[in-house]
Structure 1
Amino acid sequence: MTHNTPLSPRPLRHLTEVHRRVLSTAQLRAHGVATAELNDQCRAGGPWRQLLPGVVLLHPGPATSEERLHAALLYAARESTPGVPSQPRADEPHRPVYAEAMITGLAALTLHGFSSAPPLTSQDRIDVLVPRLRRLRTTGYVRILRTPSLPTPRQVTGLPVAPVPRAVADAVAELADSGSVRRLLSEAVREGHCEPTSVVRELNRAKLLSRPHVVDAVDSLLAEGRAIAEDRLYRMVREYGLPDPVWNVDLRLPGGPHLGGLDAYWPEQAVAVELDTRAPRQDEDALWSEYTRKREHLERLGITVVHITPKKLRDSAEQQAAVVRTALMASGDRDPAAYVVVLPRQ
């Protein structure tokens, strides 16, 4: 039997091409390949090669990046039934479901299209995320990462891939260079893959915010994220025809205490917008309490405060503009607000 000999008794035509080149030993047995025959095909110099425990490459020569990714998932995924899953329609190639496994780390970021992540051909290792209780070990080019709760994967080129925030955290965990960390975090936000808070939340869960080079990169990320959110707020006001506010101001009572900074304020209507760009760190509850106290104080003075998150500005700017417009229109039905002093924010 050569590597071009069809397997029997079940043909492979229902599989996509890459899945005809990389199969598990369980799948090969389901296709009629006996253990002795498998060992013969995988002998030194033979037409097949064992890429990973229980995973076979069905052609001579090195594996492609695509084959390495599928092999890593075949190794790590939980099989619901032995062999190849149920056959699809004749005109529908089968794409195996890789249960309880997904690509993460730098390989995932490359698949997500990050220019700051190295190409797959130069990555010696592929990280695979699995549930904590799975009995798997790191082997060959596959590093097994465990988590108490798997995130919902994204499908990228037919592969289950960790969401960007989780993939970033898993990649950063292995990076000691602050420049590399900063580039990954910056691209995640700048290119619209996710919001800064979601990245920081994953870094916090991974206990990476105690590393100085990560903290420095996070500070830069949050500053960049706020700048992006402010730009979206400017565009929202302009594109949806809201009246011009005064931007980035501090409010004070005459001769009294500082009331807090605001991103936009309409003095005649006593309506304010505040961007909620809190970083989800250990002191999140205390910071939220501060937000709440400021909002309640301003509202007692008759000032309506609209909180908007960067994500809402990105995904539903028209809806947020309608909320602000409603608050402006309702100002005539409210009692006049207390007089406050408006100063440029320091």
Structure 2
Amino acid sequence: MTQNTPLPPCHLRITSDVRQRVLSAAQLKARGVSAAQAAGRCGTGGPWQQPLPGVYVLHPGPLSGRERLRSALLHAGRTAVAGRRAVPRRSAGTDPAYGEAVVTGLAALSLHGFAAAPPAVSLDRIDVLVPRVRRLRSVRYVRLMRTSELPEPELLDGLPVAPVARALADAVAGLADAFAVRRLLTEAVREGHCEPAVVVGELNRAKVLGRPQVVNAVDSLLAESRASAEDRLYGLVREHGLPEPLWNVDLRLPGGPHLGGVDAYWPEEAVALELDTGAPRYGRTGGDRRQEEHEARWSGYAARREHLERLGVTVVHLSPGKLRDALEQQAVVVRTALMAAAAREPAAHVVILPR
């Protein structure tokens, strides 16, 4: 049965394809089923049901997780102006009837494979992003979240889904349970879904970074991210046969100013290594002050690096993500910096102190 083949209601039966079991009123009409016919089959004891306005499920039993998700998207994708079709912004494989609707929150995280996110079938609410100009209301198990910043969705199992960081921020915005927030944030970074800085940026955009349960979870997240990155750095040095550096030391000029701490330092080659595990922190102070503190922090990092390099010290920055996903490539970066030391002018003498 093709999508546009008109058939009487008795010929529309349950199939293995959820797209043929859950249909909008417009899709039924295209198949020759009028609104009155559809309503008649949804009566008491009827073979169909209408879980949401304008959406029909062609069987009477409980909805599966996929059916709940598709019905939510079909409801959210209903045209804003009668008689006009929504203009899809989706890639091939997405039903145009979804319009610009995007699954987000816990339902999206479940689709991304989060163990800490309940499956869609058990969620009391499915969050769906829609353009701010839409005037549809949240209803039953669907919460419509109007936004002027629709993310570019990922296509998961044929459904438009918000990227992990956006879905995470939208989920956290609706959670008061500190333990649940911590589990979600920790899994996002530990399982490699996204970097801490990206997570913190989205939490800031959602204006939830200042909530106590989020502050505590982010503190734990950043500490765990750094510990994992340090473990990978130790493995990089030892597994790839690099010279053993001095770990976690402070550098300063003899009798002069403090140059800052580094995660590893090779004194003979004058190569310093720093892990980029810091993430912008917002939400604890006012808007202008937050931005000023953020800019001051990163300006300080840049100034310190420039100072070290003027002294002849090569500074290598490695991110936790690159250590996780491309360890061998990062070993080459460090080895190249160490080998290049022989061709450089000798660095200024620095005092090395334990940190």
Alpha-carbon offset, residue 327 of structure 1: 1.5
Q: Is 2:332 the partner of 1:322?
A: yes
Question: Is residue 68–residue 121 contact of structure 2 (8 Å, CA) maintained in 1?
Answer: no
Alpha-carbon offset, residue 317 of structure 1: 2.8
Runs of 4+ in structure 1 displaced over 3 angstroms?
78-83
Deviations 1:133-166 (A, max 9, x none): 2332211110011332222222223222211111
Q: Secondary structure at the match of 1:145?
A: strand
Question: In structure 1, what residue type is equivalent to 2:142?
Answer: V
Question: Is residue 308–residue 315 contact of structure 2 (8 Å, CA) maintained in 1?
Answer: yes
1:344 counterpart residue number: 354
Alpha-carbon offset, residue 24 of structure 1: 0.1
Question: Is residue 65–residue 119 contact of structure 2 (8 Å, CA) maintained in 1?
Answer: no
Question: Is residue 181–residue 214 contact of structure 1 (8 Å, CA) maintained in 2?
Answer: yes
- The 10-residue stretch of structure 1 (218-227 or 280-289) with the greater mean CA deviation from structure 2: 280-289
Name the CA shift for 1:127/1:180 in 2 (closer, same or farther; >3 Å). Answer: same
2:287 counterpart residue number: none
2:316 counterpart residue number: 306
Residue number among 268, 285, 288 corresponding to 2:298 in the alignment: 288
2:342 counterpart residue number: 332
Name the CA shift for 1:50/1:343 in 2 (closer, same or farther; >3 Å). Answer: same
1:96 counterpart residue number: 95
Deviations 1:52-92 (A, max 9, x none): 11111111122122111110111113669869x9xxxxxxx
1:273 counterpart residue number: 273
TM-score by length of 2: 0.86
What is the rounded CA distance, in whole Å, between the counterparts of 2:59 and 2:124 in structure 1? 21
- The 10-residue stretch of structure 1 (153-162 or 31-40) with the greater mean CA deviation from structure 2: 153-162
Alpha-carbon offset, residue 198 of structure 1: 1.1
2:117 counterpart residue number: 117
Q: Is 2:228 the partner of 1:218?
A: no
Alpha-carbon offset, residue 213 of structure 1: 1.6
2:195 counterpart residue number: 195
Q: Secondary structure at the match of 1:67?
A: helix
Name the CA shift for 1:153/1:236 in 2 (closer, same or farther; >3 Å). Answer: farther
Q: Which runs of 5+ in 1 are unaligned?
A: 1-5, 86-93
Question: Is residue 128–residue 143 contact of structure 2 (8 Å, CA) maintained in 1?
Answer: yes
Question: In structure 2, what residue type is equivalent to 1:318?
Answer: E
Alpha-carbon offset, residue 279 of structure 1: 1.3
- The 10-residue stretch of structure 1 (70-79 or 244-253) with the greater mean CA deviation from structure 2: 70-79
1:236 counterpart residue number: 236
Deviations 1:241-278 (A, max 9, x none): 32221111111222322211111111100001111122
Alpha-carbon offset, residue 95 of structure 1: 5.8
Counting aligned pairs with the same residue, the percent is 67
Question: Is residue 129–residue 145 contact of structure 2 (8 Å, CA) maintained in 1?
Answer: yes
What is the rounded CA distance, in whole Å, between the counterparts of 1:162 and 1:248 in structure 2? 39
Question: Is residue 126–residue 143 contact of structure 1 (8 Å, CA) maintained in 2?
Answer: yes
User: In angstroms, what is the RMSD of aligned CA positions?
Assistant: 2.5
Q: Which runs of 5+ in 2 are unaligned?
A: 1-5, 282-289
Q: Secondary structure at the match of 2:264?
A: strand
Q: Secondary structure at the match of 1:117?
A: coil
2:252 counterpart residue number: 252
Count of matched residue pairs: 330
Question: Is residue 251–residue 259 contact of structure 1 (8 Å, CA) maintained in 2?
Answer: yes
1:183 counterpart residue number: 183
Name the CA shift for 1:308/1:12 in 2 (closer, same or farther; >3 Å). Answer: farther
Question: Is residue 131–residue 147 contact of structure 2 (8 Å, CA) maintained in 1?
Answer: yes
2:146 counterpart residue number: 146
Q: Secondary structure at the match of 1:295?
A: helix
1:56 counterpart residue number: 56
1:263 counterpart residue number: 263
What is the rounded CA distance, in whole Å, between the counterparts of 2:102 and 2:345 in structure 1? 56
Question: Is residue 94–residue 155 contact of structure 2 (8 Å, CA) maintained in 1?
Answer: no
2:21 counterpart residue number: 21
TM-score by length of 1: 0.88
What is the rounded CA distance, in whole Å, between the counterparts of 1:277 and 1:58 in structure 2? 51
What is the rounded CA distance, in whole Å, between the counterparts of 1:147 and 1:326 in structure 2? 47
Question: In structure 2, what residue type is equivalent to 1:319?
Answer: Q
Name the CA shift for 1:313/1:114 in 2 (closer, same or farther; >3 Å). Answer: same
Alpha-carbon offset, residue 12 of structure 1: 7.0
